[in-house]
Amino acid sequence: MLTKLLRQTAIPREYQSNFLHLYFDIGWYGVLSGSAISFLNIYATRIGATGFQIGLLGALPAAVNLLLAIPAGRWLQAQHTGRAVFWTAVFYRAGYLPLIFLPQILDEQAQIVAILLITFLMAIPLTPVGVGFNALFAEAVPTEYRAHVAGMRNVMLAITFMLTSLLSGYILDKVSFPAGYQIVFAIGTLGAAMSALHLYFVRPLPADSLEPHALPPPQMDPAKKALSPRNLFSSLRTDVWKTPFRSVLLALFAFHFTQYLAVPIFPLYNVRVLQLNDDNIGIGMALFYLTVLLGSTQIRKVAQTFGNKNITGWSVAALAVYPLLLAISSSAAHYYGVSLLGGLVFAFVSGSYANYMLEHIPAHDRPSHLAWYTIILNASMLIGSLGGPVVAGVIGLANALILIGVLRLLAGIYILKWG
């Protein structure tokens, strides 16, 4: 099946290497995501982390990224994009290695503090990775193939995530605590290393092969260029907010805020309310990505028919069903059903929103626009990660999930109408 999916007979030869390495990059990232990333919050919950501490796991990287996004965007403009993304990815993903050894050297409360510190340090190289990868994708994949490559990357992510989450859940069910988690974190570290390796081989293509009919970038007045380093507003590139891209930024803020508002609530609800074990959670994650896999095969066809903006808006609105149905669940079987439905919707969100954004970014000015997107992403992550536990503490976990569902519906409507 995998060989058939990766067959590229209809793809021009000069693009095939980039596409394959992008597929394997996300495939190995799926190994990382289905193991260390997915179960880190669960592990922290099981060793006694509070809702606030779970929120900090998302908020700390967001805070760092907010401070570094603009400098990272300006730094990337002077770098070879591929090399910059590769080395920052190496430094970021190296942070998963010490997680393997924490249970052997620290008690549970000290482990929580160490996990937060590691998360904070990893966020420093993560910022240029976040800004740079979108730019690298745009430089390495011609416009007419972006929906196809994004869809195939979702397929690869779904396959490896699904298999790895099932394996991780099985390991955690059969191996005593915390040794099972150490094995899961080791699997994630291997995935992180291999994913970074494939990024090394992704090469930017000549500009004329990416945007054949694009006009040359406008030249800046030399006098203005000379003054720009001394002008704060110029260095922050606030002029981006005077363009139509402002509407896209606000629309994506609405999406990501409602996305991350739920992230710290899910592990608390699954462990403390539904009382799921690690095997249940692994199966649920696998079912989620099974339908991500199925939905991803249709992204290119649907994008050509309806456009990336419409797909993004409708699928963000449909994401409301996941927290709404989870809030009224009472068993592992219910959790499995919610996972199946949520994965199908998420396939279309993840396969369309980045292309929707790239369609509104000038080819000659990607780093600055993507830096502002990174700020928006991390602002929503910061506010959502800290706000989710606060909301849950006031109105309860189930009621918080219902509120988030309503907000996701409103975010989807906003994208459709004003995005």
Contact (Cβ atoms closer than 8 angstroms) between residue 292 and residue 347:
yes
**Share of residues in the chain with pLDDT > 70 (%):** 90
Average pLDDT (397-408) is 96
More confidently predicted of 136 and 389: 389
Residue 257 and residue 277: Cα distance in Å, rounded? Answer: 28
Question: For residues 65 and 126, is the Cβ–Cβ distance under 8 A?
Answer: yes
Provide the pLDDT for residue 7.
59
Give the count of alpha carbons within 13 A of 90, CB side only: 9
Is the peptide bond preceding residue 61 cis, with omega within 30 degrees of 0? no
pLDDT(3) > 70: no
Can you list the domains of the chain with their CATH numbers?
Answer: 13-204+241-418 (1.20.1250.20)
| pLDDT value at 350 more than 80 | yes
Q: Grade residue 217 by pLDDT with cuts at 50, 70 and 90.
A: very low
Amino acid found at 196: A
CB 23 within 8 A of CB 232: no
C-alpha triplet 285, 346, 47: angle, nearest 5°: 35
**Mean per-residue pLDDT of the chain:** 85
What would the mean pLDDT of 155-180 be, rounded to a whole number? 91
**What does the pLDDT average to over 96-115?**
95
> CB within 8 A of 353, min separation 6: which ones?
252, 255, 308, 312, 316
- Give the pLDDT score at 6: 58
Residues 6+ apart with CB under 8 A from 363: 138, 207, 210, 211, 214, 217
The string of pLDDT tens digits covering residues 107-143 is: 999 999 999 999 999 989 988 887 788 788 888 888 7
User: Stretch 292-299: mean pLDDT, rounded?
Assistant: 83
**Residue 378 structure tokens:** 């991390």
Confidence at residue 111, expressed as pLDDT on a 0 to 100 scale: 96
pLDDT computed for residue 9 by the predictor: 57
Q: What is the per-residue pLDDT across 30-81, written as a single tens digit (0 to 9) for each? A: 999 999 999 999 999 999 999 899 999 989 988 988 888 778 777 777 777 7
Nearest to 401 by CA among 252, 256, 255, 264: 264
Gap between the Cα atoms of 338 and 290, Å rounded: 12
The tokens for 235 are: 């260095």
Among residues 40, 124, 119, 56, the alpha carbon closest in space to that of 260 is found at: 56
Mean pLDDT of 149-165: 86
Q: How confident is the model at residue 228 (pLDDT cuts 50, 70, 90)?
A: very low
Is pLDDT of 380 > 80?
A: yes
pLDDT at position 235 over 60: no
Picking from 311, 314, 335, the residue whose alpha carbon sits closest to that of residue 323 is: 335
Q: Which pTM value belongs to this model? A: 0.77
- Residue holding tokens 């456009």? 307
pLDDT value of position 96:
95
**Structure confidence at residue 320 as a pLDDT band (50, 70, 90):** very high
CA distance 313 to 303: 12
CA distance 385 to 149: 30
83: Cα within 13 Å, side-chain hemisphere: 5
Of 351 and 199, which is predicted with more confidence? 199
> What does the DSSP 8-state code read for residue 219?
P
What pLDDT is attached to residue 130? Answer: 77
| Residue 223 pLDDT grade (very low, low, confident, very high; cuts 50, 70, 90) | very low
